[in-house]
């Protein structure tokens, strides 16, 4: 029996090779692996003795050879294959032990382009795929964690089920590796909609269950290193499927806001905001988010783009929350919040600076739909002031805040805000007037002096509802056939309407 061993990750390879040798396996090896095995007393055959050709091009070509791939790929149950192998003096290879050049590690380190190119493995994937294709006759070993089970299997004779397990793992590895490379090159392109969409995810954690207890669930981590952020759980229970989903929803809403000044606090329930506040201190921002809906926030998720200080922690500690995510927590805040041992505290140091992915996707029949993330910015220089009444400077600032909030709400969505805090959010409605009614009802008697933002255009009926509630300043995309009626109504009732020209649906 012959094994070809060529590994970059040399974890436990000496012990594995020695055990194979003790079981009368012949070992062929390449480059650095060959040197390591030979220096440690393993009887190893150099690859060029098998290929009858030296390694060339600084090791770029060493295993791409018929004496290697013929030995791996020939079908033992086909006489014609055996005759060809015998005629050419090719020795069968019964096991391939290989892991790949560290392209992923180089990406993580931020290596330059030339270094990354040189860490794209060619011979390794070719050998792995060849052995995996011929898995009924060849063992393909790609994970050092499998060494002990492989040794047990060769002692007793590996089962077909075990061989297929190794092949399945091998094909998943090469697919993951190729996706990393494809995504790296895609990231260098200005192409907005690529022809192929390659994604690879690695199992990070098996969750207690999915969205509901009867559904299995797991968290798979994106292998695209450009999307990785330094997220650390400081305390609390294991995150659930819904926790992870809601937490990301809260973060995405917070990222809508200017990251250079001020503090934003976002309270989320079922991925939808139930309160958003902006202020100069975290405690003020959180208080505004809380006051929008003091009931729905119960059991919610809080995203804060500033350190949680003691004053904020005291406010948070008074209510039941599932998760608080922030760049950091002061020592005093940690001490206060530690009284609630099940409360998850998540630290995201780069909260303000990390970038959301280029694309978002959603499952549909026969595939996924993909779009660029909504990175639209408030159009300060192209706003359309379409009514006789103009918003004051203070109202315009408030309208900007409300617009940033409505971007993160579920369509149809309407946000009513006052003093940089939401006071009423109507969202997820099939009819826009229902969203308006919901937002007005939630605002209660706080609505006087408030402004309104909508993710889609208004009709005259919605303007009537807002007028009756006492709202005098509105921001919306515009672009409807009903715009003249809306403008006429606003002028007749001394209301200021601003068009952005930007629709911000979030379905």
250-264 pLDDT tens trace:
999 999 987 678 999
Q: Which of 10, 38, 81, 133 is catalytic?
A: 133
- In this structure, whether the domain defined by 2-188 belongs to CATH 3.30.70.980 is answered with no
98-109 pLDDT tens trace:
988 888 888 888
| Common-topology check for domains 228-347 and 384-499 | yes
Longest CA–CA span in the chain (Å) reads 96
Q: Decide: helix, strand or coil at residue 428.
A: coil
Quote the CA–CA distance of 65 and 429 in Å, as a whole number.
64
Q: What's CA 49's distance to the chain center, in Å?
A: 46
Run of H or E residues at 195: none
475-486 pLDDT tens trace:
999 999 999 999
Q: What is the mean pLDDT of the chain?
A: 91
Report the interhelical angle of 483-492 vs 460-469 (nearest 10°).
20
CATH level 3 topology of 384-499: Cytidine Deaminase; domain 2 (3.40.140)
- In this structure, whether the domain defined by 228-347 belongs to CATH 3.90.1150.10 is answered with no
Neighbours of 146 (CB within 10 A): 19
The domain limits of the chain are 2-188, 228-347, 384-499
Asked about 133 being catalytic, the answer comes back as yes
Quote the CA–CA distance of 326 and 335 in Å, as a whole number.
16
- The whole-model pTM stands at 0.82
67-76 pLDDT tens trace:
888 889 898 8
Q: Which of 270, 340, 358, 493 is catalytic?
A: 270
Q: Decide: helix, strand or coil at residue 303.
A: strand
For position 59, what pLDDT does the model report?
66
Confidence label for 56 from pLDDT (cuts 50, 70 and 90): low
Quote the CA–CA distance of 380 and 258 in Å, as a whole number.
13
Q: Is 63 a residue whose pLDDT tops 80?
A: no
The secondary structure of residue 56, as a DSSP letter, is B
397-447 pLDDT tens trace:
999 999 999 999 888 999 999 999 999 999 989 899 999 999 999 999 999
Whether residue 154 contacts residue 90, with contact meaning beta carbons closer than 8 Å, is answered with: no
Quote the CA–CA distance of 121 and 507 in Å, as a whole number.
42
Whether residue 358 contacts residue 373, with contact meaning beta carbons closer than 8 Å, is answered with: yes
Specify the pairing of strand 359-364 against strand 344-347: unpaired
287-304 pLDDT tens trace:
999 999 999 999 999 999
Run of H or E residues at 368: strand 367-372
312-338 pLDDT tens trace:
999 999 999 999 999 999 999 999 999
109-158 pLDDT tens trace:
888 999 999 989 888 899 999 999 999 999 999 999 999 999 999 988 89
Asked about 69 being catalytic, the answer comes back as no
Q: Is 245 a residue whose pLDDT tops 90?
A: yes
């Amino acid at each position: 029996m012959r094994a070809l061993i060529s590994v970059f990750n040399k974890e436990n390879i000496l012990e594995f090779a020695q055990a194979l040798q003790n079981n009368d396996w012949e070992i062929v090896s390449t480059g650095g692996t060959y040197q390591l095995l030979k220096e440690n007393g393993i009887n190893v055959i150099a690859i060029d003795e098998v290929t009858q050709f030296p390694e060339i091009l600084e090791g770029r070509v060493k295993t791409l050879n018929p004496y290697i791939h013929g030995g791996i790929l020939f079908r033992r149950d086909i006489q014609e294959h055996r005759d060809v192998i015998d005629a050419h003096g090719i020795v069968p290879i019964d096991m391939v032990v290989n892991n790949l050049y560290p392209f992923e590690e180089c990406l993580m380190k931020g290596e330059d382009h030339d270094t990354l190119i040189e860490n794209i493995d060619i011979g390794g994937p070719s050998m792995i795929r060849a052995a995996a294709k011929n898995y009924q006759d060849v063992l393909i070993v790609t994970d050092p964690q499998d060494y002990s089970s492989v040794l047990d299997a060769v002692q007793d004779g590996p089962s077909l089920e075990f061989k297929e397990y190794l092949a399945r793992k091998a094909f998943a590895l090469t697919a993951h590796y190729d996706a990393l490379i494809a995504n790296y090159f895609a990231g260098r392109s200005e192409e907005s909609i690529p022809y192929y969409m390659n994604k690879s995810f690695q199992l990070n954690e098996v969750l207690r269950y999915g969205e509901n207890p009867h559904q299995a669930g797991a968290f798979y981590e994106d292998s695209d290193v450009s999307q990785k952020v330094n997220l650390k759980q400081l305390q609390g229970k294991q995150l659930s499927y819904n926790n992870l989903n809601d937490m990301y929803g809260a973060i995405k809403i917070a990222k809508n806001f200017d990251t250079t000044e001020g503090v934003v606090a976002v309270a989320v329930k079922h991925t939808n905001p139930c309160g958003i506040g902006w202020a100069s201190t975290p405690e003020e921002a959180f208080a505004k988010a809380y006051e929008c809906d003091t009931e729905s926030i119960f059991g919610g998720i809080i995203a804060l783009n500033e350190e949680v200080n003691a004053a904020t922690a005291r406010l948070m500690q008074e209510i039941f929350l599932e998760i608080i995510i922030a760049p950091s927590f002061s020592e005093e805040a940690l001490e206060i919040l530690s009284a609630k041992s099940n409360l998850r505290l998540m630290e995201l140091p780069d909260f303000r600076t990390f970038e959301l992915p280029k694309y978002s996707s959603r499952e549909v029949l026969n595939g996924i739909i993909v779009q660029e993330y909504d990175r639209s910015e408030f159009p300060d220089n192209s706003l359309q002031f379409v009514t006789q009444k103009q918003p004051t400077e203070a109202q315009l600032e408030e309208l900007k805040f409300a617009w940033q909030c409505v971007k993160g709400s579920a369509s149809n969505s309407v946000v009513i805000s006052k003093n940089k805090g939401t006071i009423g959010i109507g969202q997820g409605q099939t009819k826009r007037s229902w969203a308006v009614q919901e937002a007005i009802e939630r605002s209660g008697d706080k609505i006087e002096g408030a402004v309104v933002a909508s993710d889609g255009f208004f009709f005259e009926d919605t303007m009537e509802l807002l007028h009756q509630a006492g709202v005098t300043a509105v921001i919306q995309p515009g672009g409807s056939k009903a715009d003249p009626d809306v403008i006429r109504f606003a002028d007749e009732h001394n209301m200021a309407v601003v068009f952005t020209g930007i629709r911000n649906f979030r379905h």
